[in-house]
Structure formats: C-alpha cells, structure tokens
Structure 1
C-alpha cells in the first residue's frame, strides 16, 4: 500500500473549509480513493504509480502542485493514519528504515486518538508513540477508550482501516477567500491560479476539458455605495482544454483590461461548459499507456493513415529452411496459426540475404581464420513443394544442407553450412550471432 497525506494548516480546516474541499477535488485526478482525515487529505496511490511515470515522478508532481494549494506537509506511508502522523511531525517517508522505527520516535500529539489523553499519558511517562505501544494492552483498554488502541494498531499496520471515499461532483464550483484585499484586477490571478489548479484536477478526473469558465469576485463590505456587490469575467476557448498554463494566460490577459470598482476579498470559479476530451498522441506511434489501445489497434490505425503496404510485421512460418522461416505481411492482416519448427541448435540473430561462399584450408573452411566447428551437423532437407519460376520453367527450391555453429578466431560465433546436393561440396557463411 502507498498512501499520501497532504496536510493543510490546522486553522484553515477547523471546521472543514473550501481549502480542504478544493484540495480533495484536485487529488481525485490521481486516484478515486481519496478521503478526508482531520486537517489532511489522504489518498491511496499504489494502483496509480505506473500511470503517472513511477513513484519518483508521481511524488514530485504531487509535492510541487500541492504547495500551490496551501499544503504545508506531504508524507508517504503504508496507511493513512501513519501518513497523517508523519505529516504532523514533518517526516516525509515512513518506509525507511521501517514504519515501526519511524513511528516509535513520533510525539504523542501526532496521533489524533491520543490528543484527548495527552495529560494522562504524560503523567504515565508516555512522550512518544513507542512509549504508548509498550504499555500493557489490557490496561490501555480499561483506562482509555477503545479508539486509542484501535488507532494505534491501525497506524502500525496491525488492523485494517475504514474510509469514506469522496465522490466526484458533477459540476465544478470552487470558492477561495483571499489572504488580503485585492485592489487591482491582475492581482486576482494569484488566487485564481489556485482555483484553476483545482479545476484542472477535476477535469482530469472526469477525462474532460472546458471551453468556458466564469471567475466571480465579491467586493469588500466597506465598498462605496456606487460599487456593485461583485463582478465577473467569462473566459472562453476555441476547443476544450484543461491546460493550466494556457487558462492562466487567457485569464491574465482578460484581467489586465478590467478595473475593480472596489477591493475584492473572495473568488468563485465555475466551469460553464464541460466536454469529453479526446486525447490523442501527436507522435506517429501513439502512447499505448495513456490511450489504452492494444498494439493491434495501434498498427491498424497507423496502417489506415499511411496505407496497408507501409506497415508490415514479421510472421513466422512452419518451415525448417532458414530463408523461409519468416515473411513480412501487412499489419492489418490476422496472424496465421501454424505449428512452428523446433530445433535444439542456436539460431543466428542476423541472416545474410545470400550465403557467402567460404575459402578452404585443406578440408576446413576459413573466415578471418580457420573455423572451429562447435555444434552440428543440423541437417535440413526439403523444398520440393516450393516452386518458383526459373529460366527453364517452374523449378523446386530443393535444399540439402548440414548447418554448424562455428567459431572464428576474429569474427566470433558464425552460422555456416555445407552443401550436399551440388557436384562439389562447398562451405557457406549464412549468419552471425550478436
């Protein structure tokens, strides 16, 4: 299990506010297993690692983007309770050197269930979770409520957790209270970017994009009588998108043309038009991981784009003659189901288009030195059924060869054969090994 705990400042989440809700919406783009736990959003990411480029890439992205949403600490652990405890203590990972060793050193206040018993536990000499874990379990249950021991076991992975997973809302509307009063419209982009980051996460979870967004701002309560309670700006795009930087640039250009009637203190962002986003790769070979296509579908689509004769794939034949063990066919055609020839002799990785006749040193063939025959002979006979047009009419490609695995002093392992049907026996080089 791989859990991430994203902790917001305690004052921003008691009671739960728009900041916690917005963070959870953003987190749903990575996994549907997102839950709220006190002042943090926790999410289970084990099944999402491969989809986002591995653990390191996923960690870097979550850490970087969550900071823009006000997250003060990110921790990784095998369960959510341990992750929250680590985030409160400022410890990033609970995997090294081990979860038990890391948790044993954490102070008592990092465990939510222990916060109401801090005075009593302190009088018992419990300053860390390790001190609490070493107390008799029966005494803990009798003296404190059962939730303390249950939470302790869950943190150490001795008892399963139960979560109430968050669901993705059908519409997007996010609110943000600005940390200061904004008097010029371009400065609204500071808070609007955080809302746009939440919007892009929500769109990614829905596999969708937007062509229209509305940014509303509320003026200060001490505004002049001539000023309206608030104002709004609608930004539209030509095509559906969820590109954060593109939306920020469009919003910045439009805000530069606006003059605020009074200082603004609150922002609200809405997605007006949401459309399914058909993501396509710009490369010739599509990204199978993100598009979810099999290799056969990819080859069929490329063949339709370039022509059936431009995309070929190798197909094995049920033929023991080396030259005809493989042929190329259009990728859109189905693969034939034929029994394949079996041999115990190693097969070359490179086969020459035409065999090269070798020089002889007495009875032994030569290629960059006299060859040493290692394994063989592997006799191949046949081909009477394979007829081609010759100068004198149709003729059969009848072969009789003895193949050997040979060793050259300078060229390494070679694939050679000796003819048996010719008037004069000869040796040929037919392939090499990588």
Structure 2
C-alpha cells in the first residue's frame, strides 16, 4: 500500500486540486506525499514546504497524520480477512496466506483480480505479488506489481536480481554491504553465513532465512475487532444535509467492505454529526442483519434527511457495535422477478427508513380461530413471519357479496367457534373467484351455497 496516507485523504473528496501532505515543524516542514496534480505542477516528496510555496502559489497542504495511516492499514487488513483466515501486517503492507483460499476462489489470477477490484472500489492504490513466504511477497511487491512466484525454485531465481536497497533487510547491513561490492540479494545469499554472522550478527541471517522460508515468518496474526468506528473530518463547515451525502456513501461502503471481511452483518449503527459544540446522533436500526453497501447507504441517507442541523457539521463518525452473523436471503433458482425488484427485507427497511418505524407493521397469528380475531400487529423485533394462508386483507366485518354467484376455487373450511364468549359462529369458508376475476374469501351457512358473505381479498 504505497500511498496509504494520501489515499485516505483523496478518497474522501469528490475532486481535488494540487494537494500535499507535510510533516515537521516550523520552517522545517517538508512534503511527504503529493497527488498527481501537485506533482504535475513540480512539487515533489522531500521538498521543503517553503520551496513548494515559492514554486506554486495555490495548493492545499494538510498535516501528515501517522495515526490515520494506522487506521487505514488495519481497515484494509479487515477487508482482506475476507480472502484468508491468516492475515498479518507489515510496514505499509498486508500479507495473506492464500494457498487454502485458492480452493474456494479458484486460481491465483482470479483471487488477485478480486483483491484488486475491492481495493480499487475503496480508493486505495496497491501493488500485489505472490510468493511462497510473506516476506518475499513483501519484497517483490515493492519492486514491481503483479509478480507471481509460486514455487521455491522460482523464488530463488526471483531473489537473485533484487537490489539490496529494495530487499527490506536490516538497515545497517543494507547500507554497509554495497561498500563491500554486494548490491543484490543473489550476491548476498552466495556469501558464507559464518562471515555474515561475524560481521552483521544473527539479525541479518534471520531476515534472510525468513525471506527464503528457512525460518518461520515470525508474524502476528491480525483479527478484525468486533466493532466498526470510522471518523471523517470535513474540509469545511457543512450547513446542508445534501453536502453530507458523498462522505456518507463512502462511510457506508467502508462499513460494507468491513462486514464482508468479517463475514458478518450490522443490525444497528449510529451516525454522529460533530459540531463545534456537541454533536447530533442519527440512529439507524434494521430488523435483520444486512451488509449490502447500497442498502446501508439508502437507509442511512433516509434517516439523515429527516434531521434538522442545529449547527454546521465539521466531522462525521459512523459507529457500529452490534455486528451479528449475516445469513444471506434465500433465492429461487429460477427467480422470475424483474432485475430491479427489491427483496421483501430490503423493501421493508427502506419503507421504515422513509416513513418511520411505526408506519410499517407486520402481522402475527393469535390462538383465536375466528378470522377477525386471528391476526394481530406484532412487535418489530418478533421476526418477519411467513404470510398466513388466509388473506391478509380482512374486513372489520363481513359484507354481502353482490352479483353473480362466485366460482368456488377451494373449500369448504368450517369454523364453529366462539361459544365461550357469546360470539358463537358457524360458517363454511371458501376461496372464490368473482365474475370480475377477483379472488376473495367468502362464507355461507353450513351446507348452503347462497347468501354469500365476503370476509376478505387475496392479493
């Protein structure tokens, strides 16, 4: 990940002119990263900020923040966790053990393309290489992008031509060896080990053994935390909700990628809109865990659009502590729904976000067999239930079914109940079709086929 700090800034902006990151204090401040527009204008890494200002009058200079680099580093490791259960962190790099992952994702080129697609979508530049050891993959990725060295023999050959300056060996040895005429890893590996130990100590030999696989990698496994916490500082004070849509989309996309890496979902999360004094909270709750980026964005935006800002917003924070397991919704093999049709779960959540939690209800059954008393509105957290075999549109009281006699499709179903509370009924119910083609639920007296009373409609 060659530009973590700069990418972490640029991905939050819809567009950016010349921009640099600077480190140091006072007149000693210098450029540590520059975007393409700044480089085209002649600014370069290592240049003093005062010299850059003399060269270019208008450009944006932001402080380099090491803690943000660490934040993005760990975030991308959590995303990579989607492809391997063994993920580790190296300086500005992430290494994955993928030999077992190939059984799931297929060949290395396919897995590589999936990784690149994820990183491109998230807005992070990258170089990817594969090798039999993590340290060798790290070295190869620093030399060139896209190298795939998949056997020990290929690795020995590939290491021969690596310059010591790009070998990631201990700094003292990498600086001293060129003065001895040793400029490549191939030349170094050919030297007697005893002489290297006496001259440079065991640290250099251990680094070489880890590089070639003669010693364990010595890396600590990374595990994604059980919470998601992302904060974005805005470039200026925002007074309109519409201006928060772009950073919100980026934040929900990051949340989705993080959840995919954990193979989990989110059931509730909080948006905090920070002001110079205090903050405004926007809570987003779902009836079931979800992780699809578009849906998370739409739900969060619908909640956000209902907020009245008391003060301008200077930063946004997305916090999710409830990250349960995610079970994808089942789909039929021959699904005949239109391509843009929403599953019922997503439609339900969008309606709740737009109309309010109390505007959308679900029906549950009671123990009373009488149709008018057999259903009730249930709490939202009772779980979504399958539709009743009876029509969901039941009238408050039956009405006469006028017109020609209906065509009977199913029935009768006799209901004889209510004797215990004075509301005794005895009816034969049928599924019928009217002359206009409507499907209804109607009854008549037991053993009769006239005097139809309509009690509900089927969809």
TM-score (norm 2): 0.51
CA distances 1:125-150 after superposition (whole Å, capped 9, x unpaired): 23322232233222211111322222
3-state DSSP of counterpart to 2:128: strand
Name 2:147's counterpart in structure 1. Answer: 93
Report the Cα distance in structure 1 between the residues aligned to 2:250 and 2:195, rounded to whole angstroms: 48
In the TM superposition, what are the counterparts of 1:178-257 in structure 2 within 5 Å? 180-181=235-236, 183=238, 185-186=241-242, 188=244, 190-219=246-275, 227-252=276-301
Name 1:152's counterpart in structure 2. Answer: 208
3-state DSSP of counterpart to 2:270: strand
In the TM superposition, what are the counterparts of 1:256-275 in structure 2 within 5 Å? 261-262=311-312, 264=314, 266-275=315-324
Post-superposition shift, 1:80?
A: 0.9
Query: Aligned to 2:179, which of 114, 117, 123?
Result: 123
Q: Are 2:4 and 2:73, in contact at CA under 8 Å, matched by a contact in 1?
A: no
Name 2:358's counterpart in structure 1. Answer: none
Report the Cα distance in structure 2 between the residues aligned to 1:13 and 1:20, rounded to whole angstroms: 13
Post-superposition shift, 1:231?
A: 3.8
Post-superposition shift, 1:38?
A: 1.6
Query: Aligned to 2:95, which of 42, 67, 72?
Result: 42
Name 2:430's counterpart in structure 1. Answer: none
Q: Are 2:87 and 2:95, in contact at CA under 8 Å, matched by a contact in 1?
A: yes
Report the Cα distance in structure 2 between the residues aligned to 1:138 and 1:162, rounded to whole angstroms: 23
3-state DSSP of counterpart to 1:213: strand
Report the Cα distance in structure 1 between the residues aligned to 2:284 and 2:207, rounded to whole angstroms: 48
Name 2:112's counterpart in structure 1. Answer: 59
Give the number of the structure whose alpha-carbon radius of gyration is greater: 1
Post-superposition shift, 1:152?
A: 1.7
Report the Cα distance in structure 2 between the residues aligned to 1:124 and 1:186, rounded to whole angstroms: 63
3-state DSSP of counterpart to 2:331: coil
CA distances 1:1-23 after superposition (whole Å, capped 9, x unpaired): xxxxx555477895662111211
Specify whether residues 254 and 155 from structure 1 end up closer, same or farther in structure 2 by C-alpha distance, changes over 3 A only: same
Post-superposition shift, 1:277?
A: 2.3
Report the Cα distance in structure 1 between the residues aligned to 2:205 and 2:248, rounded to whole angstroms: 44
3-state DSSP of counterpart to 2:173: helix
3-state DSSP of counterpart to 1:234: strand
Name 1:223's counterpart in structure 2. Answer: none
Report the Cα distance in structure 2 between the residues aligned to 1:34 and 1:262, rounded to whole angstroms: 40
Specify whether residues 31 and 237 from structure 1 end up closer, same or farther in structure 2 by C-alpha distance, changes over 3 A only: same
Name 2:325's counterpart in structure 1. Answer: 276
Report the Cα distance in structure 1 between the residues aligned to 2:241 and 2:164, rounded to whole angstroms: 46
Query: Aligned to 1:83, which of 119, 137, 142?
Result: 137
Gaps of 5+ in 2: 6-31, 33-63, 336-459
Post-superposition shift, 1:243?
A: 0.7
Report the Cα distance in structure 1 between the residues aligned to 2:136 and 2:73, rounded to whole angstroms: 19
Specify whether residues 146 and 18 from structure 1 end up closer, same or farther in structure 2 by C-alpha distance, changes over 3 A only: same
Specify whether residues 253 and 88 from structure 1 end up closer, same or farther in structure 2 by C-alpha distance, changes over 3 A only: farther
Report the Cα distance in structure 2 between the residues aligned to 1:145 and 1:33, rounded to whole angstroms: 31
Number of residue pairs aligned between Structure 1 and Structure 2? 272
